[in-house]
Amino acid sequence: MNVSQDTQLVHSVIDAITRAIGAKPSVLHEPCFQGNEWLYLKECLDSTFVSSVGKFVDRFESDLAKYTGAAHAVAVVNGTAALHVALTVIDVGKGDEVLVPAATFIATANAVSYCGATPHFYDCLPNNLGADFSKLRDYLLRNTRQSLGQCININTNKKIKAIIPMHVFGHPVEMDELLNLCKEFNIDLVEDAAESLGSFYRGRHTGTFGKIGVLSFNGNKIITTGGGGALLTNDSSLAKRLKHITTTAKISHPWNYYHDEIGYNYRLPNLNAALGCAQLEGVNRLVNKKRELYSVYKKTFEGIDGISLISEPRECKSNYWLQGVVIDERFEHLRDTLLKSSNEAGIGVRPLWTLMHQLEIYANCPRMDLTNAESMVKRVINIPSSPTLLMGS
Q: What is the pLDDT of residues 173-197, one digit of tens each?
A: 999 999 999 999 999 999 999 999 9
pLDDT at residue 39, as a whole number: 98
pLDDT at residue 393, as a whole number: 45
> Cα-Cα-Cα-Cα dihedral of 144, 174, 85, 284, to 10°?
180
Tell whether 256 and 139 lie within a shared domain: yes
Name residues whose C-beta falls within 8 Å of residue 114's C-beta, 6 or more positions apart in sequence: 84, 87
- Output the domain CATH number for residue 81: 3.40.640.10
What is the number of other CB atoms lying within 10 angstroms of the CB of residue 71? 14
Reply yes or no on whether the pLDDT at 314 is more than 50.
yes
Buried b (16+ CB within 10 A) or exposed e, 145-171: eeeeeebbbeeeebbbbbbbbbbbbbb
Domain coverage including residue 185: 37-281
pLDDT at residue 1, as a whole number: 53
Tell whether 129 and 55 lie within a shared domain: yes
Tell whether 74 and 193 lie within a shared domain: yes
Strand partners, 120: 99
Tell whether 163 and 102 lie within a shared domain: yes
Reply yes or no on whether the pLDDT at 224 is more than 90.
yes
Asked whether the beta carbons of 130 and 313 are under 8 A apart, the reply is: yes
Quick one: which of 63, 32, 84, 56 has its CA closest to 269? 56
* 342-367 pLDDT, tens digit each: 999 999 999 999 999 999 999 999 99
DSSP single-letter state for residue 164 = -
Phi and psi, residue 233, nearest 5°:
-155, 155
pLDDT at residue 57, as a whole number: 97
Reply yes or no on whether the pLDDT at 151 is more than 50.
yes
pLDDT at residue 173, as a whole number: 97
What is the number of other CB atoms lying within 10 angstroms of the CB of residue 216? 29
What is the number of other CB atoms lying within 10 angstroms of the CB of residue 228? 28
- Output the domain CATH number for residue 348: 3.90.1150.10
Mean pLDDT (the chain) is 96
Tell whether 313 and 277 lie within a shared domain: no
Quick one: which of 330, 334, 371 has its CA closest to 349? 334
Of 281, 308, 325, the one marking the end of a domain is 281
pLDDT at residue 391, as a whole number: 72
DSSP single-letter state for residue 313 = P
Of 281, 310, 345, the one marking the end of a domain is 281
Asked whether the beta carbons of 123 and 134 are under 8 A apart, the reply is: no
Tell whether 76 and 134 lie within a shared domain: yes
Name residues whose C-beta falls within 8 Å of residue 221's C-beta, 6 or more positions apart in sequence: 194, 195, 197, 321
Tell whether 229 and 299 lie within a shared domain: no
Asked whether the beta carbons of 57 and 267 are under 8 A apart, the reply is: yes
Residue 3 — very low, low, confident or very high, per pLDDT cuts 50/70/90? low
* 67-106 pLDDT, tens digit each: 999 999 999 999 999 999 999 999 999 999 999 999 999 9
| Amino acid, single-letter form, for residue 391 | M
What domain count does the chain have? 2
Tell whether 80 and 197 lie within a shared domain: yes
Reply yes or no on whether the pLDDT at 116 is more than 50.
yes
Tell whether 338 and 222 lie within a shared domain: no
* Section 266-292 average pLDDT: 97
**Percentage of the chain with pLDDT > 70?**
99
Residue 390 — very low, low, confident or very high, per pLDDT cuts 50/70/90? confident
**Percentage of the chain with pLDDT > 90?**
94
How many degrees, rounded to 5, is the angle at CA 244 between CA 238 and CA 250? 160
Of 229, 249, 281, the one marking the end of a domain is 281
Strand partners, 76: 229, 267
Tell whether 155 and 266 lie within a shared domain: yes
* Section 131-148 average pLDDT: 97
Distance CA(287)–CA(327), nearest Å, equals 25
Tell whether 115 and 263 lie within a shared domain: yes
* Section 264-271 average pLDDT: 97
pLDDT at residue 392, as a whole number: 57
In terms of Cβ atoms closer than 10 Å to its own Cβ (0-12, 13-18, 19+), residue 114 is middle
Tell whether 17 and 148 lie within a shared domain: no
